[in-house]
Structure 1
Amino acid sequence: MSDEDGPEYDIDFRANPSEYEIGRGEQDVFKCEPYKGELLPLWSIKTLDSAEDGAEAIYKKFCEYRDTNEFPGMDLARKYLQMGWTRAMRYAKYPGGQKYEDGEEREAQEWYDDEKREIALVYKQYLDQLRDDDTYQHRRQEWKQEESEES
């Protein structure tokens, strides 16, 4: 099933938060509703202006999720900020954002695209704020502990 066909999971993670698993990196960022529908439209790395607006809006959504104690939303907001940082950085270092050419990893350039580097730094700034948030850290630890107890 492709992301265009909709979420892989037939789960409303707001209604069923206990079904959410943290996962690695940006895993499931395009699959967890209703958060995908709320966060993806905000996300952009096209221009510096759109990235600044998007990163700020995603961080504001994180704050809303934090204030309503929605850990899955908080964590998915983190994943969208992380995705902004990592994807923009890839475009900053590699022509066309292509890390591989003919199956071989290309050598990174410093800096191939200065605007994408600036975009990456915008997302990184908000990502660091989120990661440093005491409530997020506390809830993430609790969530991981609950996940390991259920295993």
Structure 2
Amino acid sequence: MPTSFPCPSLTNPSLRFSYTIARGEQGVLTFEPYKSILLPHWRFRTVPIAQTSSETLKSAFDRYVERGDFVGADMARKFIQMGMTRAKRYANHKGGRKYDRTAREVDAEGGKRVELPKSQGHDGREEKLAASEVFKEVWKRCTSDEGYGALRERWQAEKKAWEKSGKKVKEEEGEEDVKSRIKEESDDTG
């Protein structure tokens, strides 16, 4: 299990304030560089894998809270929540497919998506339900963490002041620059 997780938003206000909390786990697979840091640790196929994954992501969450990195903590919380919801989706829908068409297909062809009926008794259903519960317990601990709540309030106030000051959230570095800097930080600490 990694013992160090880089905190790039602590040294880059543009990165820190370009983040949006959003609803649920929205944005978890798009906000770099945290996506690249946390995604390799997100797995839910079996209960033992879910336990290891949720423990690693909770360790990242705790580390980010300890360092005062709200963005990292919230991204870790989102990955934990996504572990819960995705495992549940695979429990409810064999193969994990919830809709008859993807959002891209609807955009290209028009019409609407229709939710597929939930399947019952398929192989792996109980395993996925149990994996979802593993993540759910960890997610509850994250959302009730007092340090996380205080960080969230502080970050929201800081972002409001940043935006009020007229500073624009802009890309100061390209995505590749950020990824290489994160790799260097990981190499230095790991």
Shorter chain as denominator, the TM-score bin is 0.7 to 0.9
The structural deviation recorded for 1:47 is 1.8
RMSD: 2.0
Match of 2:148 among 136, 143, 150: 136
Q: What residue number does 1:75 align with? A: 74
Question: Given the superposition, is the C-alpha separation of residues 15 and 146 from structure 1 closer, same or farther in structure 2, using an over 3 Å criterion?
Answer: closer
Q: Which is further off, 78-87 or 112-121?
A: 112-121
Is residue 122 of structure 1 aligned with residue 134 of structure 2?
yes
Moved more, 73-82 or 31-40: 31-40
Cα–Cα, structure 1 residues 146 and 15, in superposed 2: closer, same or farther, change >3 Å?
closer
Is 2:28–2:75's contact at 8 Å kept on the other side of the alignment? yes
Choose from 104, 118, 122 the match for 2:114. Answer: 104
Give 1:99 shift.
1.2
TM-score (norm 1): 0.81
Q: Kindly indicate whether the alpha-carbon contact (under 8 Å) linking 1:13 and 1:19 is maintained by their aligned counterparts in 2.
A: no
- Which amino acid is 1:108 matched to? K
> Partner amino acid for 1:137?
G
Query: 1:50-69 residue pairs with structure 2 within 5 A?
Result: 50-69=49-68
Provide the rounded CA distance (Å) in 1 between the counterparts of 2:121 and 2:56.
27
Question: CA separation of 1:21/1:114 partners in 2, compared to 1, >3 Å: closer, same or farther?
Answer: same
Counterpart CA distance in 1 for 2:42 and 2:131 is 11
Tell me the residue number matched to 1:49. Answer: 48
Q: Which residue of 1 aligns with 2:18?
A: 19
Structure 1 residues 134, 94: closer, same or farther in 2, change over 3 A?
Answer: same
Whether 2:102 is the aligned partner of 1:92: answer: no
Q: Which has the higher contact order (CA 8 A, sep 6+)?
A: 2
Per-residue Cα deviation, 1:13-40 (whole angstroms, up to 9, x for no partner): 3432233221222222123333222211
5+ residue gaps, structure 1: 1-11
Unmatched segments (≥5 aa) in structure 2: 1-7, 102-112, 165-190
How many residue pairs get matched?
140
